[in-house]
Amino acid sequence: MEGTEVRKLAQLEDEHWWYRERRHLLARAITGLAPGRAIDIGAAGGGNTRVLREHGWDAVALEYGADGAAVAHERGLATLRGDATNLPLADASLDLVVAFDVLEHLQDDDAAVAEVRRILRPGGTYLVAVPADPRLWSSHDVAVDHVRRYTREGLLELLDRGGFEVADVRSWNVLLRPVVAMRRRTSSGSDLEDLNPVVNLGLRAVIAAERYLPVGGLPGVSLLVRAQPRS
């Protein structure tokens, strides 16, 4: 992702409906886990890293690009620069790895999954979020340097090859999928934009409704997975 997009994301993520809900999903996913050492791969502005720290984790933001690392550092977060396919971390040294919207940017996603398997301790947790459904491919994906969008089956096969047992997989951004599909058929760039506050509030309400509805098995715009290293 270009530096301008990273800084744009950092400016938006505190209030933007999509990033706010993603932080909620992360907080929910770590509920019940004993805090330990964690890394947030592809941290960008560090919103998810801050969630981890607020819940007691010793969390580090990892970014490949200089701009993303600089933003996270400016926000007071412990920051590493590194390649997701060659992580600068010791074997079996972490209890939790978060990789939200990372794998789709990598040519070699198998190598990235193998690296997470290497650095996780036995019993550790791998939290993954990726964009779903190749049929939703659009200029947005091009603008933010996506290599692919995932099917549910393709993502599960990737994790299985990498030595992970999947504990939970679900879709999110299900209710707004028709709107997203329609918009992206006519859009010419990234969806990352500052929204009218009223529109932003309305979208927050819609996406938050998914917390209470049994829609995780339906097609959505993203996929969320919780997995553990296979014994």
Domain boundaries, the chain: 3-229
- What is the per-residue pLDDT for 71? 86
Rounded to whole angstroms, the Cα distance separating 226 from 98 reads 10
Longest dimension (CA), the chain: 49
Length of the chain: 231
- Are 167 and 215 spatial neighbours (Cβ–Cβ below 8 Å)? no
Query: Between the CA atoms of 45, 47, 48 and 54, what dihedral angle is there, to the nearest 10 degrees?
Result: 130
* H/E run at residue 154: helix 152-161
pLDDT value, residue 5: 61
Classified by CATH at the fold level, domain 3-229 comes out as Rossmann fold (3.40.50)
For residue 189, the model assigns a pLDDT of 66
What pLDDT, on the 0 to 100 scale, is given for residue 45?
A: 82
Instruction: For the chain, 231 residues long, give each residue's pLDDT as a single digit of tens.
Output: 555 566 667 778 888 999 999 999 999 999 999 999 999 999 988 999 999 999 999 999 999 988 888 888 889 999 999 999 999 999 999 999 999 999 999 999 999 999 999 999 999 999 999 999 999 999 889 988 899 999 999 999 999 999 999 999 999 999 999 999 998 887 766 766 778 999 999 999 999 999 999 999 999 999 999 999 998
| Strand residue runs (E) in 45-163 | 58-63, 79-81, 94-100, 120-131
pTM of the model: 0.93
Contact 152, 166 (CB under 8 A): no
